[in-house]
Chains A and B, each alone.
Chain A
Amino acid sequence: MSTVVGKPIRRVEDKRFITGQGRYTDDIKLHGMTYAVIIRSPYAHARIKSIDASAALKIKGVVAVFTGKDIEADGMGGIPTGWQVNLINGETMREPKHPILCTDKVRHVGDGVAVVIAEDLAIAEDAAELVQVNYEPLPAVAQVRDALAANAPKVHDELPDNLAFDWNIGDKEKTDAAFATAHHVTTLEFYNQRLVPNAIEPRSAIGHYEEGRDFYTLYTSTQNPHLIRLLMSAFVLQLPEHKVRVVGSDVGGGFGSKIFHYAEEALVTWASKKIKRPIKWTAARSESFVTDAHGRDHQTTVSMAFDKDGKILGLRGHTIAGMGAYLSTFAPAVPTYLHGTLLQGLYTTPAIYYKVDAVFTHTTAVDAYRGAGRPEATYLLERLMDTAAREMKIDPAELRFKNFIPPFDGVTQPGYQTQVALQYDSGNYAPTLHKALEIIDYKNFRKRQEEARKNGKFIGIGFSTFVEACGIAPSAVVGSLGARAGLYESAIVRVQPTGKVSVYTGSHSHGQGHETTFAQIVADSFGIPMEDVEIVHGDTEQIPFGMGTYGSRSLAVGGSAIMKSIDKIKEKGAKIAAHLLEANEADLVFAEGKWTVKGTDKSIPFQQVALTAYVPHNYPAGLEPGLDFSSFYDPLNFTFPFGAHIAEVEVEAETGEVKVTRYVSVDDVGTIINPMIVEGQLHGGIAQGIGQALYEGAFYDESGQLLQGTYMDYTMPRADNLPMFEHSTTVTPCPHNPLGAKGAGEAGTIASTPTIVNAIVDALSHLGVSNLEMPCTPARVWSAIQTAKGN
């Protein structure tokens, strides 16, 4: 009987977060701690002619200054990427060295050139000002659309051009044939702009080498401690992995940006051995802007072909995807396997062909950012759908109903095989849109819109129906696609002698509420109170080898690993219970926290079985003591959440200001363990997606300077910019994992961006506006209105 699963239980971790008792990396103080400041390039592209640290070294309290040459002299490697996507012609992915600190050249504003280590941070900052770096500035290429031009400055001299790799998916011939027979073709060209992740906690890393036991500890604000340990030990610093501990304590948000292995982590770990003292580095906010891996940066041209009834015949397109100056950990996967494979959407499109050119520019690296590829895929599909509907004079909701993949549960019906490699697990798309249309009262909207226009008010409605791939991922599948790691998850469930339960999970919360959701699952499984369950994560010395948290995978993959260990405990517990009850194991049932002999009132509680397991005086012969199981769960498939979002906006014609007046979301994330957490994830995600549509954007000028490098210019969405969210759900369980859960972390971000832009275009469509660049700032919207009016 379920007592907590499915209930909106308040997050147990929030007490410490909101009372200032969270323990973040920067809160850690170690004996003998020193503090590092990294000297970073002010230029996008320059040759380092010399570095003179002599004045800095004279400052009292300065412990050391290191440059890239010192690191190179120790034979350290570069920061590796975790995914290999080879070129279409078979050439190996071009993977230039990403140095911990630059030696010859800098390749983006913020690229590190030296580190100053001192007794305190103030001394380190004073000394850093005295390090003289002599740069020879060089021409830079900052825009993805310019990167492949013949005369573009090269980011890496050893490469023939700025192409990292190219990639394609689908059937070109079949798709071209489909377009040849089309009644109507809709084409869009746009830039899906760069975003800065902006986690509230800046990145922080403490390296601590203990000479006495020849042991390294790295405390770091990360989404996956084990992956950092593996990449840093095996590829960068060549350290024996069993002599390295990585601790990710409380993490204040990541949105993907803390998945990756960063140079600073390797730097403080390496340097700590040099000075034999712990070293702390914490990013200043202005460093976060130029060193946290950015998101998006796609220049896209895409077309969709339709027959005369509005059935989609084909999709084809091309994206130039920015990688920044170096290939970050997951970067090659984002525009390819997390984007190209999602271009089926939830439509029956019979022919798809897509090509991606991934390019280097003199800019901060780009990698996975909430949604990672799926928001870009959904943006292009959903902008196409609303645009095509308008062009073909078909209602945008109707156009979607015409093209939805029919329902399939993945149990009695097979999964849906797409044209772009994936097989969807289960889906039932039309009900989400029906529900959303009803909530927003769509049938009366057009009349209201017409009346409003008569009064000079521009209101618009925008749609987005989407499917995404979460719960990443089956290791063999991703391995065949170029992943250099498996994507399973681990869990130890340790029943203590008193029947209290400790869970050691390889998932790593950076705000998702795992300590609550996972405890709900364990509590109900054993029929014990949630208070009797402790969730432990983040420390490689405590947890089994885990893959961390991203791609909405924690519940579907990490939760499933916990379920596997729970099953093993129940199986062993039944043996102990049967022995104590002098009954046959087959005659026992486990419910409400006890094993009962069927048809009798003879039972034994979970806690007594736990105690017996550790005090095995009266115990089944041949059975090992203890009640403690470790499991690894490798998913059988991705999970495929979906939904329908609809927004209503009001555009102030005179100023171009946009107000989101209603936002309705109907999401299907599979089985829900905690509806409050799901709703919270949706709220945050929708806000973030609205941020991209209306406010956020990181743009570089031609010299490679970031124009929005502070919160004075980079606009984050705020509560007073947003409407009340009207959120509801449908439930189509995942057929291939024990929880039926699909994941909810990214759906909001994936769906909301095109929803808003579609709504703005709809509001202005009577004037002839058909496309808008993001973010849709007042100046851009006003200017589009003027252009449409011929002013």
Chain B
Amino acid sequence: MLPASFDYHRATSVADALGMLGSLGDEAKILAGGHSLIPALKLRLSKPAHLIDLNAIPELRSITRQNGHIVVGAMATHTAVQTSDIVRSAVPFIADLAGSIGDASVRNRGTIGGVIAHADPRADYPAALLAADATVVLTSKSGSRNVKADDFFVDMFTTALAEGELVTEIHFPALAKGTGASYQKFSHPASRYAIVGCAARVTVEGGVCKNVRVAFTGLTEKAFRDNGVESALEGKPANEATIQAAALLAAKSIEVTGDSFADEAYRRHIATVQARKALLAAVAAATK
């Protein structure tokens, strides 16, 4: 199957891409890694008149450490994130997550910016950005603005991106000593997308859990933070019993979408399992 015809534009800088986006407007689609967009084009589910390719913009591929934050360029591939020493040392669970996405060919082309801008409800990164308290940098001709992950994911395939804006960077706060995080997913065996993915970040101080952040992907129309689980563990001793009790509250307050592979009851159950695994791993990392 072949896509409907489109004009191809290769941007060589962010300014270049923004210029194209400005002149081509909503007739244009941004091409990052292409692992979601290209199949949609081939199935003709998407028929943009123009594609703006960001793959020739080196500045969007950088991964650096700035003022206690890890700054990941939007076009960093999953392999780049997985193998980055900077990511590995400061937010190791993000490197592990990147290494768990799809297969090698997906990881070699797919990008973090592409994933979050697409906002597939089954994608891995959104839950991790929420748990990590990450910030997304959106850039337009009039400058850049920072949006907290909490505010970025709006709905299924919908984000806070405004017209004329590109995702340019993702900032992860480096995990301080005493803070640990983990992402645990249960994958669909065919697509290897998350049936349920749970990201958890916990600070353990004097044996007590603090600043607990727990987020899920795969359960509903978008990734979300689970306040029920978070508050059940906040201020509680960091042990298996409290973690198990908190994990059992997973997804209690949301509507879960089931399908023929995993119905609602199963997804809810797996959410409690993944929550427990993620919290246990996060606490273990925090107290290491």
Contact = CB atoms under 8 A, between A and B. Distances in A.
A binds B: yes
A270 interface: no
Interface in A761-788: 777-779, 782-783
Interface stretch (B20-28, B144-152, B183-191): B183-191
A778 B190 CA distance: 13
Interface in B145-198: 186, 188-191, 193
Contact of A129 (B44, B193, B260, B273): B44
Contacts of A782: 266, 269
A288 B2 CA distance: 16
B43 to A, nearest CB: 7
B115 to A, nearest CB: 16
Interface in A707-740: 707-708, 711-716, 721
Nearest to B4: A126
Given A711-B190, A779-B262, A121 B2 contact: yes
Interface residues of B, number: 21
Contacts of B260: 699, 707-708
A291 to B, nearest CB: 14
B246 interface: no
Interface string A419-447: 00000000000000000000000000000
Nearest to A713: B190
A50 interface: no
A280 B186 CA distance: 42
Contact of A122 (B5, B190, B191): B5
B1 interface: yes
B270 interface: yes
Contacts of B43: 286
B263 interface: yes
Contact of A779 (B4, B191, B263): B263
A125 interface: yes
| Residue among B2, B5, B265 with most chain A CB within 10 A | B2
Interface string B1-38: 11011000000000000000000000000000000000
B186 A655 contact: yes
What DSSP secondary structure best describes chain B's contact surface? loop
Interface in A635-688: 654-656
B211 to A, nearest CB: 28
A695 interface: yes
A477 interface: no
Interface size class on chain A is 20 to 34
Contacts of B190: 695, 708, 711-716
A782 B269 CA distance: 10
B270 A655 contact: yes
A284 interface: yes
Interface in B20-68: 43-44
A717 to B, nearest CB: 9
What DSSP secondary structure best describes chain A's contact surface? loop
A655 B274 CA distance: 10
A188 to B, nearest CB: 23
Contact of B266 (A122, A284, A783): A783
B269 A284 contact: no
A707 B43 CA distance: 17
A286 B266 contact: no
A484 to B, nearest CB: 36
Contacts of A779: 261-263, 266
A34 to B, nearest CB: 15
A121 B42 CA distance: 13
A453 B44 CA distance: 52
Interface in A127-146: 129
Contacts of A126: 4-5
Given A699-B260, A779-B261, A783-B266, A122 B2 contact: yes
Interface in B223-245: none
B233 to A, nearest CB: 20
Nearest to A697: B260
B104 to A, nearest CB: 12
B122 to A, nearest CB: 10
A122 B1 CA distance: 8
A783 B266 CA distance: 8
Contacts of A699: 260
Contact of B191 (A655, A713, A721): A713
A777 B190 CA distance: 12
B4 A655 contact: no
Nearest to A120: B2
Given A655-B273, A714-B190, A721-B189, A286 B261 contact: no
Contacts of B193: 712
A731 B4 CA distance: 57
Given A129-B44, A655-B186, A655-B273, A713 B266 contact: no
Contact of A654 (B191, B262, B273): B273
Nearest to B47: A129
A714 B193 CA distance: 13
Contacts of A121: 2
B195 to A, nearest CB: 9
| Residue among B43, B265, B269 with most chain A CB within 10 A | B269
A125 B2 contact: yes
Interface in B248-272: 260-263, 265-266, 269-270
A687 to B, nearest CB: 14
B256 to A, nearest CB: 13
A126 B4 CA distance: 7
B1 A715 contact: no
B257 to A, nearest CB: 14
9 contacts: A122-B2, A125-B2, A129-B4, A654-B273, A714-B190, A777-B262, A779-B262, A779-B263, A782-B266
Interface of B: 1-2, 4-5, 43-44, 186, 188-191, 193, 260-263, 265-266, 269-270, 273
Given A125-B2, A708-B260, 9 more contacts: A126-B5, A654-B273, A712-B188, A713-B261, A715-B188, A715-B190, A716-B190, A778-B186, A783-B266
The 9 closest A-B pairs by CB, nearest first: A715-B190, A779-B266, A712-B191, A284-B1, A715-B189, A779-B262, A122-B2, A707-B260, A125-B2
